[in-house]
Chain A
Amino acid sequence: MKSFALIAVIVTGWLLLSAVSDFPDWGDTESPANDYRLSQHYITETFPETSVPNMVTAVLADYRGYDTMFETVVIFVAGIAIMSILRRKPLDHLKDKGKETRTYKKDPDLIIDTTCRLMIPIIQLFALYVVAHGHHSPGGGFQGGVIFGASFILLALSRDLQAAQRWVPEKRVLNLAGVGILIYSGFGFACMLLGSNFLDYEILHKIMPATPIEARSHSMLGVEIGVAFTCTAIMFSIYSNLASNGDMKETL
């Protein structure tokens, strides 16, 4: 079986490496990615069409919004998969067998506790800034959501998992993850209800106090917020499941 896997790896690697020579050179202006008029369109027309100065976010959340929606779903599914593999009831029967479960119920360290208490609000504020400013500067829903999730992970590291779960219990994590995708697809369906294509934000100016071009910018912010919800929830869920060995009682 192992030799079979080795053959499969070698054949796949050979196929991938044999394609390397067909790639265009670094920075080749004649390469299809640079030559095709689509990228020229993005570079010159993004700001007039969407009033978003950050081209990357405009492509990600507007021109290819469908792709990003399912990337969010992929994150959601990954979190659900990790939860369904690792989550289990606390192992009470192991204690009876004398196999002591490691308990780290020591009093929290004063220095670490104070620093983290000062830092966590600032991390969360910065995460909100990254989300809210994502269509004007580098950043966006994924990055902001990960920073926000990291603040909860820091809380769980500096105190214990219970302290973090007071703020984001397991049920709320799942709700938040679902709500994020609901916000994103809700924007898509709102476009459909108003008589346009799925995720074609321009039509949303009918229900927003904005021009059609500004409506695209505002809708991008909306879907980024949805992405941030899902990322925050799934980040914390993955951490707490992995660190507590799936029983959500105590961390490392």
Chain B
Amino acid sequence: MIPATICVVLVCIGILFFVGGAVGIIRFPDFYTRMHAAGKGDTMSVFLILMGLAAYQLADFSLANILVAGKILFITIFIMWASPTSTHALIKAGFEEGQKLWTPNGEKEDSGK
């Protein structure tokens, strides 16, 4: 029922987000922006790729396929919970440990701690 084009488009956009996340982890200047890139990549791209896979499962409706798609949906919901929370926990730990903030004029400022 669901055309394969939609699955391909979803997975491709997800891979694009992953590439953005990977480039961001390497290129961004300080801890917080790098974590931001990592969190975006892990959350959004995994969401899109898994949605694409779920749509692929629903190419023909049968009970087994719908069950598999439902399980993929559960994984998606779980990742949408867990990934932002772990990003938050890491950034909070970094903030309390006193990681420096990056500023545009090149010098690093104290994060207030």
Interface, chain A (partner B; CB < 8 A): 109, 111-112, 115-116, 118-119, 122
Where chain A touches its partner, the secondary structure class is helix
Shortest CB distance B71–A (Å): 10
User: What is the chain A residue whose CB lies nearest that of B82?
Assistant: A119
Interface, chain B (partner A; CB < 8 A): 78, 81-82, 85, 88-89, 92
Bound state CA distance, A111 and B93, in angstroms? 13
Bound state CA distance, A165 and B88, in angstroms? 25
User: What is the chain A residue whose CB lies nearest that of B92?
Assistant: A109
Question: Could you say which residues of chain A place their CB within 8 Å of the CB of B78?
Answer: 119, 122
Q: Is the CB of B89 within 8 A of A112?
A: yes
Bound state CA distance, A116 and B89, in angstroms? 12
Q: Is the CB of B88 within 8 A of A112?
A: yes
Cβ contacts A to B, 6 pairs, < 8 Å: A112-B85, A112-B88, A112-B92, A115-B85, A118-B81, A119-B82
Bound state CA distance, A122 and B82, in angstroms? 12
User: What is the chain B residue whose CB lies nearest that of A115?
Assistant: B85
Q: Is the CB of A115 within 8 A of B81?
A: yes
Where chain B touches its partner, the secondary structure class is helix
Shortest CB distance B89–A (Å): 5
Contact of B88 among A111, A118, A119, A122 (CB under 8 A): A111
Bound state CA distance, A189 and B109, in angstroms? 69
Bound state CA distance, A166 and B24, in angstroms? 42
Question: Could you say which residues of chain B place their CB within 8 Å of the CB of A109?
Answer: 88-89, 92
User: What is the chain B residue whose CB lies nearest that of A112?
Assistant: B89
Other CB < 8 Å A-B pairs besides A109-B88, A109-B92, A115-B81, 9 of them? A109-B89, A111-B85, A111-B88, A112-B85, A112-B88, A112-B92, A115-B82, A116-B85, A119-B78
Shortest CB distance A175–B (Å): 31
Shortest CB distance B109–A (Å): 24
User: What is the chain B residue whose CB lies nearest that of A113?
Assistant: B85
Bound state CA distance, A115 and B89, in angstroms? 11
Shortest CB distance A180–B (Å): 27
Question: Could you say which residues of chain B place their CB within 8 Å of the CB of A118?
Answer: 81
Question: Could you say which residues of chain A place their CB within 8 Å of the CB of B85?
Answer: 111-112, 115-116
Q: Sorted from nearest, which 4 A-B pairs have the closest CB atoms?
A: A115-B85, A112-B89, A111-B88, A115-B81
Question: Could you say which residues of chain A place their CB within 8 Å of the CB of B81?
Answer: 115, 118-119
Bound state CA distance, A116 and B81, in angstroms? 9
Bound state CA distance, A116 and B88, in angstroms? 13
Bound state CA distance, A66 and B103, in angstroms? 64
Bound state CA distance, A138 and B89, in angstroms? 32
User: What is the chain B residue whose CB lies nearest that of A158?
Assistant: B89
